[in-house]
């Protein structure tokens, strides 16, 4: 109905308080609709109304007592509230019922990490990837855990999986050209883009002179507000605002590699 559509639109606008209010009204009239209850609880979590979210998740569990997704999100609400014991108990309940359930394994690993139980956290992520070999989120979490422990070879190998996450915001699938893996760059054009925002872009740009010295021509995709700075710093480099790439407003020049 109209209120449901309005609530979903408010979520897209990140107006979580208002969305939660409208979803809460909907739950009064559709109390057995798990989707509405879940959306309401998620909006409440986003607006940091953790007690309300916990109550809403519990209502959803009354409808579906053995729903792994509902119980895992309930545990996450406990964790965000700071109730680590209840979060741990809830994740453990899910895994006793469904031992391979990746979201619970991943989030229990986060809980162990918060508790300072790093080895157990890593073991849980290895278990998650072993039981769910195609789960990109599990592999990405494992990569970050390995990199944090300076296990760089294993960590970087796992980190490739971040590109396969459905919610990734990288540009990896925008350009149909191979990644540069150390090939000679003389008279080649390299398209450079980053993942972590302006700080990452500035760090990577410190390496651009080295690439140019190897004889490469460069194009750099960067956050819009850095374009003027980078154009002044690299007058012979094509500087392309990331926002234009995402919106399809710019034609990328022919390149040989991306990096």
- Reported as a single tens digit per residue, the pLDDT across 157-177 is 998 888 777 765 566 566 788
> Which pLDDT score, from 0 to 100, does residue 162 have?
83
Sheet holding 189-192, edge to edge: 238-241, 217-222, 189-192, 257-258
Query: Number of C-alpha atoms within 13 angstroms, CB side, residue 151?
Result: 12
Average pLDDT over residues 207-231: 91
Residue 26, φ and ψ in degrees, nearest 5:
-65, -35
Quote the strand ranges of the chain, DSSP E. 189-192, 217-222, 238-241, 257-258
Pick the CATH number of 2-164 from 3.30.930.10, 1.20.1260.10, 1.25.40.10, 3.30.70.1140: 1.25.40.10
Q: Which residue has the tokens 């999100």?
A: 73
Pull the structure tokens for residue 32. Answer: 């057995």
What is the pLDDT at residue 203? 87
User: Nearest Cα to 110, choosing from 97, 91, 134, 131?
Assistant: 91
Per-residue pLDDT averaged across 227-248, rounded? 87
Cα 168 to Cα 63: distance, rounded to the nearest angstrom = 32
Quick one: tokens of 73?
């999100």
Mean pLDDT, range 192-220, rounded to an integer: 88
The residue whose two tokens read 């162990």 is 112
* Mean pLDDT of the chain, nearest integer: 90
For strand 217-222 and strand 257-258, is the pairing parallel, antiparallel, or unpaired?
Answer: unpaired
Tokens linked to 203: 């760090």
**Does 247 or 58 have the greater pLDDT score?**
58
pTM value is 0.74
More confident residue, 245 or 207: 207
Q: What tokens appear for 228 in the block?
A: 């003027």
């Amino acid at each position: 109905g109209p209120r449901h559509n309005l609530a979903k639109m408010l979520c897209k606008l990140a107006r979580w308080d208002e969305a939660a209010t409208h979803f809460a009204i909907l739950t009064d009239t559709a109390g057995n609709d798990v989707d509405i209850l879940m959306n309401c609880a998620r909006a409440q979590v986003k607006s940091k109304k953790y007690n309300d979210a916990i109550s809403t998740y519990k209502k959803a569990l009354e409808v579906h007592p053995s729903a792994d997704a509902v119980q895992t999100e309930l545990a996450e609400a406990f964790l965000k509230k700071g109730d680590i014991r209840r979060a741990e108990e809830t994740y453990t309940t899910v895994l006793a019922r469904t031992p391979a359930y990746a979201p619970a394994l991943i989030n229990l690993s986060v809980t162990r990490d918060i508790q300072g139980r790093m080895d157990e956290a890593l073991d849980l992520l290895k278990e998650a990837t072993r039981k769910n070999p195609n789960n990109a989120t599990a592999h990405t979490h494992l990569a970050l855990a390995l990199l944090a422990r300076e296990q760089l070879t294993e960590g970087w190998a796992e980190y490739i999986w971040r590109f396969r996450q459905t919610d990734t915001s990288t540009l990896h699938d925008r350009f149909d050209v191979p990644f540069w893996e150390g090939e000679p760059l003389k008279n080649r054009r390299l398209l450079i883009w980053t993942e972590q925002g302006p700080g990452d872009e500035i760090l990577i740009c410190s390496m651009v002179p080295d690439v140019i010295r190897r004889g490469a021509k460069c194009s750099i995709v960067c956050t819009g507000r850095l374009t003027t700075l980078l154009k002044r710093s690299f007058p012979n480099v094509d500087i392309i605002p990331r926002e234009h790439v995402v919106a399809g407003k710019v034609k990328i020049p022919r390149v040989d590699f991306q990096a």
